[in-house]
Amino acid sequence: MDLVRNLFGSTIGRKLIMAVTGVVLIGFVVGHLVGNLQVYENPDRINGYAHFLQSLGPLLWAVRAFLLGCVTLHIWSATVLMLESRRARGDEPYAVNRWIQAAVSSRYMRGTGYVVLAFILYHLAQFTVGVAQPASFKTNLPHYTMGSDYHIAGLTVVRAGTDVLDVRSMVIRGFANPVVSVFYIVAVGLLSLHLLHGADSLFQTLGWRSQRWERGLRVVVTLLCAAYFLGNLAIPGGVLLGMLK
Ligand code: HEM
Protein backbone atom coordinates (compact mmCIF):
# COMPACT_ATOMS: atom_id res chain seq x y z
CA MET A 1 0.00 0.00 0.00
CA ASP A 2 2.86 2.34 0.95
CA LEU A 3 4.58 1.49 -2.32
CA VAL A 4 1.49 2.53 -4.31
CA ARG A 5 1.14 5.74 -2.25
CA ASN A 6 4.82 6.60 -2.80
CA LEU A 7 4.59 5.84 -6.49
CA PHE A 8 1.54 7.99 -7.14
CA GLY A 9 2.20 10.58 -4.44
CA SER A 10 5.81 11.62 -5.15
CA THR A 11 7.43 13.42 -8.07
CA ILE A 12 9.99 10.67 -8.65
CA GLY A 13 7.20 8.05 -8.47
CA ARG A 14 5.19 9.91 -11.12
CA LYS A 15 8.29 10.28 -13.31
CA LEU A 16 8.77 6.54 -13.00
CA ILE A 17 5.15 5.89 -13.97
CA MET A 18 5.57 8.15 -17.01
CA ALA A 19 8.82 6.41 -18.00
CA VAL A 20 7.53 2.84 -17.56
CA THR A 21 4.21 3.49 -19.37
CA GLY A 22 6.17 5.33 -22.10
CA VAL A 23 8.43 2.30 -22.61
CA VAL A 24 5.39 -0.05 -22.78
CA LEU A 25 3.75 2.23 -25.38
CA ILE A 26 6.97 2.39 -27.42
CA GLY A 27 6.97 -1.44 -27.39
CA PHE A 28 3.41 -1.39 -28.72
CA VAL A 29 3.98 1.14 -31.52
CA VAL A 30 7.17 -0.60 -32.71
CA GLY A 31 5.49 -4.04 -32.65
CA HIS A 32 2.46 -2.56 -34.44
CA LEU A 33 4.68 -1.09 -37.15
CA VAL A 34 6.51 -4.40 -37.69
CA GLY A 35 3.12 -6.16 -38.00
CA ASN A 36 1.77 -3.48 -40.37
CA LEU A 37 4.79 -3.59 -42.68
CA GLN A 38 3.63 -7.09 -43.67
CA VAL A 39 1.26 -5.18 -45.97
CA TYR A 40 4.19 -5.18 -48.43
CA GLU A 41 4.25 -9.01 -48.50
CA ASN A 42 1.78 -11.60 -49.76
CA PRO A 43 -1.79 -10.65 -48.52
CA ASP A 44 -1.79 -13.89 -46.45
CA ARG A 45 0.73 -12.26 -44.14
CA ILE A 46 -1.12 -9.17 -42.85
CA ASN A 47 -4.56 -10.82 -43.12
CA GLY A 48 -3.33 -13.91 -41.25
CA TYR A 49 -1.68 -11.73 -38.63
CA ALA A 50 -4.86 -9.65 -38.06
CA HIS A 51 -6.95 -12.85 -37.92
CA PHE A 52 -4.58 -14.34 -35.35
CA LEU A 53 -4.87 -11.20 -33.16
CA GLN A 54 -8.69 -11.26 -33.39
CA SER A 55 -8.73 -14.96 -32.49
CA LEU A 56 -7.05 -14.21 -29.15
CA GLY A 57 -10.51 -13.13 -27.84
CA PRO A 58 -10.38 -12.29 -24.11
CA LEU A 59 -6.57 -12.07 -24.18
CA LEU A 60 -6.81 -9.36 -26.86
CA TRP A 61 -9.25 -7.45 -24.64
CA ALA A 62 -6.88 -7.81 -21.68
CA VAL A 63 -4.03 -6.36 -23.77
CA ARG A 64 -6.28 -3.52 -24.99
CA ALA A 65 -7.32 -2.72 -21.40
CA PHE A 66 -3.67 -2.78 -20.30
CA LEU A 67 -2.65 -0.40 -23.12
CA LEU A 68 -5.54 1.93 -22.34
CA GLY A 69 -4.43 1.92 -18.68
CA CYS A 70 -0.88 2.83 -19.79
CA VAL A 71 -2.12 5.71 -22.00
CA THR A 72 -4.27 7.03 -19.12
CA LEU A 73 -1.43 6.84 -16.56
CA HIS A 74 1.02 8.39 -19.05
CA ILE A 75 -1.27 11.40 -19.62
CA TRP A 76 -2.15 11.67 -15.91
CA SER A 77 1.49 11.66 -14.74
CA ALA A 78 2.50 14.13 -17.50
CA THR A 79 -0.29 16.52 -16.46
CA VAL A 80 0.48 16.35 -12.72
CA LEU A 81 4.23 16.78 -13.33
CA MET A 82 3.56 19.77 -15.58
CA LEU A 83 1.33 21.45 -12.96
CA GLU A 84 3.93 20.73 -10.28
CA SER A 85 6.77 22.21 -12.30
CA ARG A 86 4.64 25.30 -13.03
CA ARG A 87 4.06 25.78 -9.30
CA ALA A 88 7.75 25.20 -8.52
CA ARG A 89 8.81 27.82 -11.09
CA GLY A 90 7.15 30.53 -8.99
CA ASP A 91 9.65 29.78 -6.17
CA GLU A 92 12.71 29.79 -8.42
CA PRO A 93 13.23 33.32 -9.74
CA TYR A 94 16.87 32.83 -10.79
CA ALA A 95 16.47 29.82 -13.02
CA VAL A 96 15.08 31.82 -15.94
CA ASN A 97 16.87 29.87 -18.68
CA ARG A 98 15.93 26.48 -17.30
CA TRP A 99 12.42 27.83 -16.81
CA ILE A 100 12.10 28.84 -20.45
CA GLN A 101 13.60 25.56 -21.64
CA ALA A 102 11.26 23.49 -19.48
CA ALA A 103 8.24 25.56 -20.54
CA VAL A 104 9.04 25.19 -24.24
CA SER A 105 9.70 21.47 -24.01
CA SER A 106 6.63 20.71 -21.91
CA ARG A 107 4.44 22.79 -24.26
CA TYR A 108 6.00 20.93 -27.21
CA MET A 109 5.39 17.52 -25.59
CA ARG A 110 1.82 18.52 -24.78
CA GLY A 111 1.19 19.80 -28.33
CA THR A 112 2.55 16.67 -30.00
CA GLY A 113 0.78 14.51 -27.37
CA TYR A 114 -2.64 16.08 -28.16
CA VAL A 115 -2.20 15.45 -31.90
CA VAL A 116 -1.14 11.82 -31.23
CA LEU A 117 -4.22 11.35 -29.04
CA ALA A 118 -6.50 12.80 -31.75
CA PHE A 119 -4.76 10.51 -34.26
CA ILE A 120 -5.37 7.40 -32.10
CA LEU A 121 -9.07 8.28 -31.71
CA TYR A 122 -9.46 8.71 -35.49
CA HIS A 123 -7.44 5.54 -36.10
CA LEU A 124 -9.70 3.48 -33.81
CA ALA A 125 -12.79 4.99 -35.49
CA GLN A 126 -11.33 4.06 -38.89
CA PHE A 127 -9.78 0.60 -38.45
CA THR A 128 -11.16 -0.86 -35.21
CA VAL A 129 -14.77 0.40 -34.99
CA GLY A 130 -15.30 1.23 -38.69
CA VAL A 131 -17.31 4.45 -38.30
CA ALA A 132 -14.84 6.79 -40.07
CA GLN A 133 -14.78 5.15 -43.54
CA PRO A 134 -17.52 2.47 -43.26
CA ALA A 135 -17.49 1.58 -46.98
CA SER A 136 -13.88 0.38 -46.79
CA PHE A 137 -14.15 -1.20 -43.33
CA LYS A 138 -12.98 -4.84 -43.18
CA THR A 139 -16.40 -6.31 -42.28
CA ASN A 140 -17.99 -4.60 -45.32
CA LEU A 141 -15.46 -6.05 -47.80
CA PRO A 142 -15.64 -9.54 -49.34
CA HIS A 143 -13.87 -12.12 -47.14
CA TYR A 144 -10.38 -13.23 -48.07
CA THR A 145 -9.41 -16.91 -48.25
CA MET A 146 -5.93 -17.72 -46.96
CA GLY A 147 -3.79 -19.22 -49.72
CA SER A 148 -1.12 -20.55 -47.32
CA ASP A 149 -0.63 -21.20 -43.60
CA TYR A 150 0.36 -18.23 -41.42
CA HIS A 151 3.08 -19.00 -38.89
CA ILE A 152 4.34 -17.19 -35.81
CA ALA A 153 7.62 -18.45 -34.31
CA GLY A 154 7.33 -21.62 -36.41
CA LEU A 155 3.80 -22.39 -35.15
CA THR A 156 0.89 -22.48 -37.61
CA VAL A 157 -1.64 -20.03 -36.19
CA VAL A 158 -3.94 -19.65 -39.26
CA ARG A 159 -4.48 -22.47 -41.76
CA ALA A 160 -4.65 -22.16 -45.57
CA GLY A 161 -8.29 -22.12 -46.74
CA THR A 162 -9.52 -20.15 -43.68
CA ASP A 163 -11.91 -17.29 -44.50
CA VAL A 164 -10.53 -14.13 -42.88
CA LEU A 165 -11.26 -10.39 -42.95
CA ASP A 166 -9.44 -8.50 -45.70
CA VAL A 167 -7.48 -6.10 -43.49
CA ARG A 168 -4.95 -5.42 -46.26
CA SER A 169 -7.65 -4.05 -48.62
CA MET A 170 -9.13 -2.01 -45.74
CA VAL A 171 -5.75 -0.31 -45.12
CA ILE A 172 -5.13 0.34 -48.82
CA ARG A 173 -8.63 1.71 -49.45
CA GLY A 174 -8.41 3.83 -46.29
CA PHE A 175 -5.13 5.43 -47.35
CA ALA A 176 -6.30 5.97 -50.92
CA ASN A 177 -7.93 9.12 -49.51
CA PRO A 178 -5.08 11.70 -49.61
CA VAL A 179 -6.55 13.77 -46.74
CA VAL A 180 -6.53 10.69 -44.47
CA SER A 181 -3.01 9.76 -45.60
CA VAL A 182 -1.59 13.26 -45.04
CA PHE A 183 -3.18 13.36 -41.57
CA TYR A 184 -1.49 10.00 -40.76
CA ILE A 185 1.87 11.16 -42.07
CA VAL A 186 1.77 14.42 -40.06
CA ALA A 187 0.58 12.55 -36.94
CA VAL A 188 3.28 9.84 -37.11
CA GLY A 189 5.84 12.62 -37.74
CA LEU A 190 4.75 14.34 -34.53
CA LEU A 191 4.64 10.98 -32.74
CA SER A 192 8.25 10.37 -33.81
CA LEU A 193 9.26 13.80 -32.41
CA HIS A 194 7.33 13.00 -29.23
CA LEU A 195 9.31 9.74 -28.92
CA LEU A 196 12.61 11.55 -29.57
CA HIS A 197 11.92 14.12 -26.90
CA GLY A 198 10.41 11.52 -24.56
CA ALA A 199 13.65 9.52 -24.80
CA ASP A 200 15.53 12.65 -23.65
CA SER A 201 13.30 12.96 -20.58
CA LEU A 202 13.67 9.23 -19.91
CA PHE A 203 17.48 9.51 -19.99
CA GLN A 204 17.25 12.52 -17.67
CA THR A 205 15.11 10.49 -15.22
CA LEU A 206 17.59 7.59 -15.42
CA GLY A 207 20.54 9.98 -14.87
CA TRP A 208 22.12 9.12 -18.24
CA ARG A 209 22.23 12.68 -19.57
CA SER A 210 25.64 13.58 -18.13
CA GLN A 211 27.39 10.40 -19.23
CA ARG A 212 30.25 10.44 -21.71
CA TRP A 213 28.26 8.35 -24.17
CA GLU A 214 25.25 10.71 -24.05
CA ARG A 215 25.92 12.09 -27.55
CA GLY A 216 26.27 8.62 -29.07
CA LEU A 217 23.06 7.54 -27.39
CA ARG A 218 21.25 10.57 -28.79
CA VAL A 219 22.47 9.79 -32.32
CA VAL A 220 21.20 6.19 -31.99
CA VAL A 221 17.81 7.34 -30.66
CA THR A 222 17.50 9.97 -33.43
CA LEU A 223 18.21 7.30 -36.08
CA LEU A 224 15.66 4.92 -34.50
CA CYS A 225 12.98 7.64 -34.41
CA ALA A 226 13.74 8.54 -38.05
CA ALA A 227 13.48 4.83 -39.00
CA TYR A 228 10.18 4.61 -37.10
CA PHE A 229 8.84 7.62 -39.03
CA LEU A 230 10.00 6.26 -42.40
CA GLY A 231 8.50 2.83 -41.66
CA ASN A 232 5.12 4.42 -40.94
CA LEU A 233 5.42 6.80 -43.88
CA ALA A 234 5.99 3.81 -46.16
CA ILE A 235 2.37 2.60 -45.76
CA PRO A 236 0.22 5.65 -46.66
CA GLY A 237 3.09 6.84 -48.89
CA GLY A 238 3.16 3.47 -50.71
CA VAL A 239 -0.60 3.66 -51.31
CA LEU A 240 -0.46 7.25 -52.60
CA LEU A 241 2.45 6.38 -54.93
CA GLY A 242 0.63 3.30 -56.25
CA MET A 243 3.24 0.87 -54.85
CA LEU A 244 0.61 -0.83 -52.67
CA LYS A 245 -2.47 -2.01 -54.56
C1 HEM B 1 0.51 3.84 -41.15
C2 HEM B 1 0.54 3.27 -40.01
C3 HEM B 1 -0.52 2.36 -39.42
C4 HEM B 1 -1.32 1.40 -39.99
C5 HEM B 1 -1.32 0.91 -41.42
C6 HEM B 1 -2.14 0.84 -38.95
C7 HEM B 1 -3.08 -0.17 -39.13
C8 HEM B 1 -3.94 -0.64 -38.16
C9 HEM B 1 -4.99 -1.62 -38.37
C10 HEM B 1 -5.27 -2.32 -39.69
C11 HEM B 1 -5.63 -1.80 -37.20
C12 HEM B 1 -6.84 -2.70 -36.93
C13 HEM B 1 -6.45 -4.13 -36.75
C14 HEM B 1 -7.68 -5.01 -36.72
O15 HEM B 1 -8.46 -4.88 -35.76
O16 HEM B 1 -7.87 -5.77 -37.65
C17 HEM B 1 -5.00 -0.94 -36.22
C18 HEM B 1 -5.35 -0.85 -34.90
C19 HEM B 1 -4.72 -0.03 -33.97
N20 HEM B 1 -3.69 0.84 -34.19
FE21 HEM B 1 -2.76 1.14 -35.96
N22 HEM B 1 -1.83 1.46 -37.77
C23 HEM B 1 -0.85 2.41 -38.01
C24 HEM B 1 -0.25 3.25 -37.09
C25 HEM B 1 -0.57 3.29 -35.75
C26 HEM B 1 0.09 4.12 -34.78
C27 HEM B 1 1.25 5.07 -35.08
C28 HEM B 1 -0.52 3.89 -33.56
C29 HEM B 1 -0.27 4.49 -32.21
C30 HEM B 1 0.04 5.72 -31.99
C31 HEM B 1 -1.55 2.91 -33.79
C32 HEM B 1 -2.39 2.42 -32.82
C33 HEM B 1 -3.37 1.48 -33.01
C34 HEM B 1 -4.25 0.99 -31.97
C35 HEM B 1 -4.25 1.42 -30.51
C36 HEM B 1 -5.09 0.04 -32.57
C37 HEM B 1 -6.21 -0.76 -31.92
C38 HEM B 1 -5.72 -2.15 -31.65
C39 HEM B 1 -6.91 -3.03 -31.30
O40 HEM B 1 -7.99 -2.86 -31.84
O41 HEM B 1 -6.70 -3.90 -30.47
N42 HEM B 1 -1.55 2.57 -35.11
N43 HEM B 1 -3.97 -0.26 -36.83
Average pLDDT score over the chain: 90
pLDDT digits (tens, 9 = 90+) for 35-69: 999 999 999 999 999 999 999 999 999 999 999 99
Q: Which residues contact 187 (CB under 8 A, 6 or more apart)?
A: 115, 116, 118, 119
User: How does pLDDT run across 60-112, given as a tens digit for each residue?
Assistant: 999 999 999 999 999 999 889 888 877 776 655 545 555 555 555 667 788 88
Number of domains within the chain: 1
Instruction: Please answer whether residues 23 and 69 qualify as being in contact, where contact means their C-beta atoms are separated by less than 8 angstroms.
Output: no
In a domain, 17, yes or no: yes
What is the pLDDT, as a whole number, of residue 55?
A: 96
- 67 part of a folded domain: yes
The answer, yes or no, to whether any atom of ligand 1 lies below 6 A from the CB of 32, is yes
**Is 125 domain-assigned?**
yes
DSSP letter, residue 127: I
Q: What is the pLDDT, as a whole number, of residue 166?
A: 97
Backbone angles phi, psi at 91, to 5 degrees: -95, 5
Q: Give the pLDDT mean for 104-133.
A: 88
- The answer to whether residue 50 sits within a structural domain is yes
Does the structure show a pLDDT above 60 at 118? yes
**120 in a structural domain:** yes
75 is a domain residue: yes
Residue 32 C-alpha to ligand 1 middle, in angstroms? 7
Task: Using the predicted structure, report yes or no on whether residue 129 has a pLDDT greater than 90.
Answer: yes
Instruction: Report the nearest atom of ligand 1 relative to the CA of 170.
Output: 10
99 is in which domain, residue-wise? 2-240
Which residue lies with its CA nearest to atom 9 of ligand 1?
127
**Residue 120's CATH number:** 1.20.1300
Which protein residue's CA is at the shortest distance from atom 5 of ligand 1?
A: 36
Query: Which atom of ligand 1 approaches the CA of 119 most closely?
Result: 30
Q: How confident is the model at residue 164 (pLDDT cuts 50, 70, 90)?
A: very high
The CB of 244 under 6 Å from ligand 1? The reply is: no
Does ligand 1 have an atom closer than 6 angstroms to the CB of 123? yes
